[in-house]
């Protein structure tokens, strides 16, 4: 069934570290061979062996309207004819910035980069440059890309592979990253009190998605916002995952919280490598060439990446009902999974918000990294493979959120629920 993928994986390992260009793709924690994809359309992926899968990864978020979404593909094709890069400004970059500013709250100025990692590392540099302080607070199990400062108690692949300390990150850098448990406001207050006037920023995934989907508890973000105001700390919402996914204005809009700086990635590029960071002019004006906090990129604002993102965001802005549809589909899936899981007799937890959802095989609520890590993740591995064999492509780790895309039909969701029902007998 997976013969071609197996052959490709053998071959890939000879020229690419671990056979993959990003660790979470490797299936290392769930075992088996990563599937090599050939094409995708709408909600379906097709691997090298021609197998079809219902996709719940959506390229880790960007494919919110389904794969090969026609307006985006057409726009890329047309744009490419006029050159794929200039290294000089274009009107399209202004249109992109204006479009984003019209959609998201609390952003006066926005700088485009090429990945979520770049967006987050630039945002903390800016926060440090603006405040003149060195330390940041992040949360256990949160992932903000692979820049040195963030690889302390990080989520996503770092959690999946259980990497405690990352060789190559200096102690000096790691010491400037302080960590607290997600949803533990008291712990954050304590750190802030112990490091008065040393903390430049608190960076948070507003709805955590890199340790499964974990929701903010009531009052958590409000408390962080208040603390940041009192202590002169920059409050950074890492919306790489939630931006343009939970609402046109992202988690800021969905949760009604104002951030000082916001980072974007994933959906913002419509499947092309795009990231961005933005915020109030007061802070953003410290970025070069306006200010001295240096940040740059040869391919930043690349025309192909911009037209893909611009077209995608325009669709989302013009059709806000997409968010309602996505949420309804996700709730339908959640309720359907609940129906089959509750008669199974084993413990489980489903966390869901908007079009983000995940299943943890746990007998306690999953509200932070410790509770996510203590779930029965061996069982998740079996579930993952049982689903894959039934044509459902879930993230290959319990430490990842599933992402729904709007090309999914009720029939796809019913198939997924049925596949879960069948899978439960052998996990």
Ligand X SMILES: *Cc1c(COP(=O)(O)O)cnc(C)c1O
Nearest CB to ligand X, comparing residues 117 and 177 = 117
Nearest CB to ligand X, comparing residues 297 and 391 = 297
Backbone angles phi, psi at 411, to 5 degrees: -65, -40
Nearest CB to ligand X, comparing residues 106 and 115 = 115
Give residues with Cβ within 8 angstroms of 256, minimum separation 6. none
List 28, 138, 153, 266, catalytic entry: 266
Percentages (nearest 5) of helix, strand, coil residues in the chain: 45, 15, 40
Query: How does DSSP classify residue 153?
Result: S
List 44, 69, 130, 143, catalytic entry: 143
Specify whether 229 is catalytic: no
The residue whose Cβ lies closest to ligand X is 116
Which residues make beta-bridge pairs with 403?
Answer: 356
Tokens of 27: 């299936």
To the nearest whole angstrom, how small is the minimum distance from the Cβ of residue 332 to ligand X? 25
Tokens of 89: 């400004």
Residue ranges in contact with ligand X by CB under 6 A: 115-117, 120, 143-145, 205, 209-210, 238, 240-241, 265, 275
| Peptide linkage before 289 cis (omega within 30 of 0) | yes
Tokens of 195: 């490091």
Closest CA to 386 of 421, 348, 350, 338: 421
Backbone angles phi, psi at 260, to 5 degrees: -85, -40
Nearest CB to ligand X, comparing residues 53 and 399 = 399
To the nearest whole angstrom, how small is the minimum distance from the Cβ of residue 142 to ligand X? 7
CA–CA separation, 312 and 322 (whole Å): 12
Q: How far apart are the first and last CA of the chain?
A: 21
Specify whether 332 is catalytic: no
Contact 180, 139 (CB under 8 A): yes
Nearest CB to ligand X, comparing residues 94 and 296 = 296
List 238, 260, 368, 412, catalytic entry: 238
Contact 99, 311 (CB under 8 A): no
What region, left, alpha or beta, does residue 351 occupy, with left being phi > 0 and alpha being psi -120 to 50 degrees? beta
Closest CA to 148 of 125, 122, 121, 182: 121
Tokens of 62: 């960007």
Specify whether 4 is catalytic: no
Nearest CB to ligand X, comparing residues 242 and 423 = 242
CA–CA separation, 41 and 39 (whole Å): 7
To the nearest whole angstrom, how small is the minimum distance from the Cβ of residue 382 to ligand X? 26
To the nearest whole angstrom, how small is the minimum distance from the Cβ of residue 238 to ligand X? 5
Radius of gyration of the chain measured on its C-alpha atoms: 21
To the nearest whole angstrom, how small is the minimum distance from the Cβ of residue 138 to ligand X? 11
CA–CA separation, 75 and 222 (whole Å): 40
Nearest CB to ligand X, comparing residues 275 and 336 = 275
Residue 319 CB neighbour total at 10 angstroms: 14
To the nearest whole angstrom, how small is the minimum distance from the Cβ of residue 156 to ligand X? 7
Nearest CB to ligand X, comparing residues 159 and 413 = 159
To the nearest whole angstrom, how small is the minimum distance from the Cβ of residue 113 to ligand X? 9
Closest CA to 268 of 299, 314, 303: 314
To the nearest whole angstrom, how small is the minimum distance from the Cβ of residue 27 to ligand X? 18
Give residues with Cβ within 8 angstroms of 91, minimum separation 6. none
Residues marked as catalytic: 143, 238, 266
């Amino acid at each position: 069934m997976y013969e071609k993928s197996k052959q490709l994986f053998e071959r890939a390992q000879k020229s690419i570290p671990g056979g993959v260009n990003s660790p979470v793709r490797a299936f290392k924690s769930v075992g088996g061979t990563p599937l090599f994809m050939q094409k995708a359309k709408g909600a379906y992926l097709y691997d090298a062996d021609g197998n079809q899968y219902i996709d719940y990864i959506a390229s880790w978020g960007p494919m919110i309207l389904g794969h090969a979404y026609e307006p985006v593909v057409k726009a890329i094709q047309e744009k490419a004819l006029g050159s794929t890069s200039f290294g000089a400004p274009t009107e399209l970059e202004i249109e992109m910035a204006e479009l984003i500013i019209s959609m998201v709250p609390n952003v006066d100025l926005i700088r485009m980069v090429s990945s979520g990692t770049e967006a987050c590392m630039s945002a903390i540099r800016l926060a440090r440059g603006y405040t003149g302080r060195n330390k940041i607070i992040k949360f256990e199990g949160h992932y903000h890309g692979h820049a040195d400062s963030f690889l302390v108690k990080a989520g996503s692949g770092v959690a999946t592979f259980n990497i405690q300390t990352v060789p190559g990150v200096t102690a000096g850098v790691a010491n400037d990253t302080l960590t607290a448990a997600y949803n533990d406001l008291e712990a954050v207050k304590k750190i802030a009190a112990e490091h008065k006037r040393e903390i430049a920023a608190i960076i948070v995934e507003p709805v955590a998605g890199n340790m499964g989907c974990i929701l903010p508890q009531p009052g958590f973000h409000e408390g962080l916002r208040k603390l940041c105001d009192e202590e002169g700390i920059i409050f950074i919402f890492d919306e790489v995952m939630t931006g343009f996914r939970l609402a046109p204005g992202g988690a800021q809009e969905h949760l009604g919280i104002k951030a000082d700086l916001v980072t974007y990635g994933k959906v913002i590029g419509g499947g092309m490598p795009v990231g961005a960071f933005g915020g109030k002019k007061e802070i953003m004006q410290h970025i070069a060439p306006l200010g001295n906090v240096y940040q740059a990129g040869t391919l930043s604002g690349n025309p192909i990446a911009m037209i893909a993102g611009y077209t995608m965001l325009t669709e989302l802005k013009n059709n806000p009902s997409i968010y309602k549809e996505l949420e309804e589909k996700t709730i339908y899936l959640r309720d359907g999974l609940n129906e089959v899981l509750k008669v199974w007799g084993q413990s489980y937890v489903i966390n869901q918000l908007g079009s983000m959802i995940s299943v943890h095989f746990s007998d306690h609520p999953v509200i932070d990294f410790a509770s996510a890590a203590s779930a029965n993740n061996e069982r998740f591995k079996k579930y993952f493979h049982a689903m894959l064999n039934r044509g459902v492509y879930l993230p290959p780790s319990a430490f990842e959120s599933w992402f729904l895309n709007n090309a999914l039909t009720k029939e796809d969701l019913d198939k997924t629920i049925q596949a879960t029902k069948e899978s439960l007998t052998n996990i």
